[in-house]
Amino acid sequence: MSKKVVIVGGVAGGATALARLRRVDEHAQVVLFERGEYISFANCGLPYYIGGTIEERDALLVSTPEHIMEKFNVDVRIQSEVIKIDKDNKKVDVKNLKTGELYSESYDYLILSTGSTPLKPPIPGIDAPNIFSLWNIPDTDTIKEYIDIKKPRTAIVVGGGFIGLEMAENLHDQGLNVSVVEMLDQVMAPIDFEMAQIVHEHLRSKGVKLHLKDGVSKFDYNNGLTSITLQSGETVKADMVILSIGIRPNGELAKDAGLSQNQRGGVVVDKFLRTSDEFIYAIGDVIEVEDYVNKVQTMVPLAGPANKQGRIVANNILGKYKEEYKGTQGTSIAKIFDLTVASTGVNEKTLNRLGKEYKKDYNMVLIHVNSHAGYYPGALPMTIKLIFNKDGKILGSQIVGYDGVDKRIDVIATAIRFNGKIEDLIDLELAYAPPYSSAKDPVNMVGFVADNLMRGLTDQVLWRELSEMDSSKYQLLDIREDIEREIGFIEDSLHIPLDALRTRLGELDKTKIYIPYCAIGLRGYLADRILKENGFQSMNLAGGYTTYKTMYKQTDYTVATEPKAFSDTGVANVNVGK
């Protein structure tokens, strides 16, 4: 006897579950309810339609309800909201939003794919007509129409996450002057502070003004203009406002049915994605998942995991396979103007929140490398941060750069999924030709640096540790060339170029700890080895002057400059292939 499966909600998880159910069992009865008009659309592409990169609205529609019903022989009912689950009698109550009709639908198994909703806190004035959220096709149409008709010149984006920054870029592309307001001291929460500083610098170079560590106190709307009073007391004004301050799971239906939930309203599921009711499964943004790295419960609203969960649930319901969902590691990527920002696994902020300490429980390295061989035209810089435990197991990585970021983060994400260690990054044989990579791929390189640190061949000091050190006991040593020092240097640093270091060791004091630094850390490592081999105490400055300058030299406005590759010796600001 065929099973009847009812799915509540479409898009990534629900639509995938529907398709998998049909592919595995031609005779299963499948009914999908969606309270909106669209069950399968490219929600990640919405900002780019507003910005004009995606020209046709129809390109956002992955599939129509009519096409899905014809292709998969299923029952799809749009503008139909499931308002109650009667788990004792295995049925749901449904409201037809077009006609107001109320009726019940039975099920053998129920899949909840109810997703999430943008947060809209009770801030005074938040319902002004020029304040918008972006989450679905109707939101997109509303924003697009407002821009086309009202011709706004200024915009404020509240929230510096993925959608917020993508909207900042696309509104900028439409010719608006854009500001971003963010409660935290950085944008892009999945990455750590020093990596976010690269993004801050790039945003400012594009003319985007940042208001960090500042939230919204109230909105005041007057004749098409909204004035925002920030918690600091500062006031900013704009013709339109985009809210992107987070989401909440749509867990009300599950709560009313008595299904187990966490404190955030997320549905609790077991390893088979089954809720506290054996005939009800849940997937996507609405569920609590296991952090793949830390093995703690969390919530990660990403399309990739939701798709996988839809497939797993279909397999488990039909009994063809018994599959476990093995956790989410949060691999993500975003385009921020010319930059690509990517992360996978755990960041330092999360580790610190879990009580883990740097150097005691985990370590990290940070390097600046080129996207491909420096001598081949078009090489562009990228910064890679790698986090690993004392045994060398890879815990997470973040990459910010202009080219080749996606493939490097995917390689490291794969290594994490297979419980890889630093030695595995070194052993990887990755594709190489000058237009694509270097003989030592950036993934290999970050492995080499981490391996040197683990073996004690080098010690490092982070930018954030300098201010905590006793300045009477250490000496910064600038080992760059004269021309590089003219561009800028760290105050109170001694200047001895690397090539002259061996012949000038007699000028150094062996009672001091020396911290050599170069542009990106490569020559600093060489200097560190020379000093150590000659009986000096030494620690390389991680990331070199490039990281230090990014952390300490930013201003409210940064002049846009073309990104330049590093030479193969690690010299910064060299025009390669020009």
DSSP secondary structure letter of residue 123:
-
Is residue 94 within 8 Å of 81, Cβ to Cβ?
Answer: yes
DSSP string, 407-467: HHHHHHHHHHHTT-BHHHHHH------TTT--SS-HHHHHHHHHHHHHHTS--EE-HHHHT
Which of the following is catalytic: 24, 42, 44, 333?
Answer: 44
d(CA 505, CA 454): 27
The whole-number pLDDT of residue 557 equals 59
Task: Decide: helix, strand or coil at residue 14.
Answer: helix
Task: Judge whether 518 counts as a catalytic residue.
Answer: no
Is residue 441 within 8 Å of 430, Cβ to Cβ?
Answer: yes
> Looking at the chain, how many residues does it have?
578
The whole-number pLDDT of residue 61 equals 83
The mean-pLDDT minimum among 18-22, 47-51, 444-448, 556-560 falls in 556-560
The mean-pLDDT minimum among 118-127, 201-210, 311-320, 560-569 falls in 560-569
Query: Does residue 564 register a pLDDT over 50?
Result: yes
The mean-pLDDT minimum among 59-68, 93-102, 125-134, 567-576 falls in 567-576
pLDDT in tens, 257-302: 999 999 999 999 999 999 999 999 999 999 999 999 999 999 999 9
Query: Does residue 562 register a pLDDT over 90?
Result: no
Token pair for 520: 């990106």
Helices (H) and strands (E) in the chain, counts: 17, 31
DSSP string, 230-288: ETTS-EEEESEEEE-S-EEE--HHHHHTT--B-TTSPBP--TTSB-SSTTEEE-GGGB-
Residue in this structure with the two tokens 């995938």, named with its chain if needed:
16
The whole-number pLDDT of residue 577 equals 34
Provide mean pLDDT across the span 431-437: 96
Q: How many CA atoms, within 13 angstroms, populate the side-chain half-sphere of residue 310?
A: 29
From 297, 163, 319, select the one nearest 243 (Cα to Cα). 163
The whole-number pLDDT of residue 559 equals 65
Query: Does residue 578 register a pLDDT over 50?
Result: no
Distance, CA of 467 to chain centre: 29
Phi and psi at residue 407, to the nearest 5°:
-75, -30
The whole-number pLDDT of residue 533 equals 96
Query: Does residue 554 register a pLDDT over 90?
Result: no
The whole-number pLDDT of residue 54 equals 92
The mean-pLDDT minimum among 151-160, 336-345, 473-482, 556-565 falls in 556-565
**Percentage with pLDDT > 90 across the chain:** 87
Distance, CA of 537 to chain centre: 38
pTM: 0.93
